Amino acid sequence: MSEELENIEVLIIGSGPAGYTAAIYAARADLNPVVIQGLQPGGQLTTTTEVDNYPGYPNGVDGTKMMEDFKAQAERFDTDTRWGMVTKVDFSERPFKVEIDGTKNVMAETVIISTGATAKWLGIPDEERLNGFGVSACAVCDGFFYKGQEVVVVGAGDTAAEEATYLAKLCTKVTMLVRRDEMRASKAMQKRVFNTDNITVLFNHETKSINGEKGVESVTAFNNQTQEETVIPATGFFVAIGHKPNTDIFKGQLEMDDNGYLIVEPGTSKTQIPGVFAAGDVADHVYRQAVTSAGTGCMAALDAERFLAAQE
Ligand code: NDP
């Protein structure tokens, strides 16, 4: 006898701004959404301190508090928020079969994927120790706190180049640590970096330590050719060595770009599988902001609602 599985109208995977905004919209449309929170309930914002750029919070808000507010708003309309990790999906036929925590299966008429992306870190101990106290992976989020100060950016791709030029407008000096003798960033982005007076690029340089007890005070870098060390005064340390979208469980089922980001039909949240939608950083390597994630979460809920209406 086959087991009777719970059938969910809108299953939302992930609980960052995209997931909860999708839940608010889906719940208000009486679609009884279920949010599977994932490994990091609240998502990346719970790892930052103050969020100053989300509209509606004139005095800023703690990232964790903001995500508690998102959750409370979704639950006010009876969103069912559940602990757990989605471990397997089968998008070959609808309703879709979704496995949670490797043990439990549910069926879903529609799925909204908002699993986000994870910033890559260098993996040195100081980075973890001072995370949120000078160490950051998002210049647009945290750069303002270093206005008029000196900072270090690690990385050599488009993100690092973009973060360095963004920070150069706020900070007195930006030092970029590039581990090879050239940058990976596009020529146009490199040109912007080299044309900015207060950015210094140190090629062949890597991070030895981030110094300071309660906050970042300086960074010790070393030249990987000569081993010579340099101590760079800095109050901010920005790691911009890429993000990894959380899409491993969708491999082979959904279209992705070379970096693993989900591909959606432009201007919509639709993946190539009808009834499966993507929102937030998992499908966006360019903007990656809480407010853009929330916006695409709204789109995904409206797309799911229209999809379900069209099935009736
Ligand atoms: P990338 O993977 O392109 O670049 C990562 C950079 O970090 C590389 O230069 C790499 O060095 C460096 N790096 C990796 N690990 C370490 C380490 N342990 N220590 C020091 N340096 C390290 O990531 P991005 O986030 O920059 O870009 C991701 C994608 O998004 C790209 O396709 C990019 O073009 C795109 N993008 C586009 C933007 C735009 O169009 N405006 C803006 C931002 C991103 P190495 O070169 O030696 O491997």
Instruction: Identify whether the C-beta of residue 113 lies closer than 8 Å to the C-beta of residue 262.
Output: yes
Q: Please tell me the distance from the alpha carbon of residue 37 to that of residue 115, in angstroms, as a whole number.
A: 9
Q: Are 66 and 51 in contact (CB under 8 A)?
A: yes
- Mark whether 179 and 87 lie in a shared domain: no
Residue 101 and residue 12 share a domain: yes
Are 267 and 287 in contact by the 8 Å Cβ rule? The answer is no
Which residue of 121, 122, 159 sits with most ligand 1 atoms within 8 Å of its CB, as the best mutation to test the pocket? 159
The pLDDT value recorded for residue 1 is 46
In terms of domains, do 186 and 136 share one? yes
**Core vs surface per residue 224-233: b (16+ CB within 10 A) or e:** eeeeeeeebe
DSSP conformational letter for 300: H
Q: Which atom of ligand 1 is nearest to the CA of 122?
A: 18
Query: What's residue 2's pLDDT?
Result: 55
pTM to 2 decimal places: 0.79
Contacts of 155 (CB under 8 A, 6+ apart): 163, 176, 177, 178, 239, 240, 241, 242
Residue 121 CA to residue 133 CA, distance in Å, equals 15
Q: How many domains does the chain have?
A: 2
Quick one: DSSP state of residue 261? P
291 and 278 in one domain?
Answer: yes
In whole angstroms, give the CA distance from residue 52 to residue 250: 33
Where does a domain end: 239, 266, 292?
239
Given 187, 220, 239, which residue is the final one in a domain? 239
Q: What is the CATH number of the domain that holds 179?
A: 3.50.50.60
- With the most atoms of ligand 1 within 8 angstroms of its CB, the residue from 193, 237, 241 to mutate is 241
Q: Return d(Cα 234, Cα 150) in angstroms, integer.
A: 5
What is the domain extent for residue 59? 7-118+243-311
Q: Which of 237, 146, 163 is nearest to 199 (CA)?
A: 163
Strands 173-177 and 150-154, bridge-based pairing: parallel
Please give the full DSSP string across 15-33, using - where no structure is assigned.
-SHHHHHHHHHHHHTT---
Ligand 1 binding pocket includes 85 (Cβ within 6 Å): no
Q: Enumerate the active-site residues.
A: 138, 141-142
Residue carrying the six token digits 């432009």: 266
Residue nearest to atom 17 of ligand 1 (CA): 122
SS3 53: coil
Same domain, 269 and 214: no
Taking a C-beta distance cutoff of 8 angstroms, is the pair 296, 283 a contact? yes
In the listed set 218, 239, 260, which residue is the last one of a domain according to the structure? Answer: 239
Identity of the residue numbered 93: E
154 lines ligand 1 (CB under 6 A): yes
pLDDT recorded at residue 309: 98
DSSP count for the chain of H helices, then E strands: 7, 19
E strand or H helix at 82, and its extent?
Answer: strand 80-82
pLDDT in tens, the chain (312 residues): 456 899 999 999 999 999 999 999 999 999 999 999 998 899 988 876 678 889 999 999 988 999 999 999 999 999 999 999 999 999 999 999 999 999 999 999 999 999 999 989 999 999 999 998 999 998 988 999 999 999 999 999 988 999 999 999 999 999 999 999 999 999 999 999 999 999 999 999 999 999 999 999 999 999 999 999 999 999 999 999 999 999 999 999 999 999 999 999 999 999 999 999 999 999 999 898 999 999 999 999 999 999 999 998
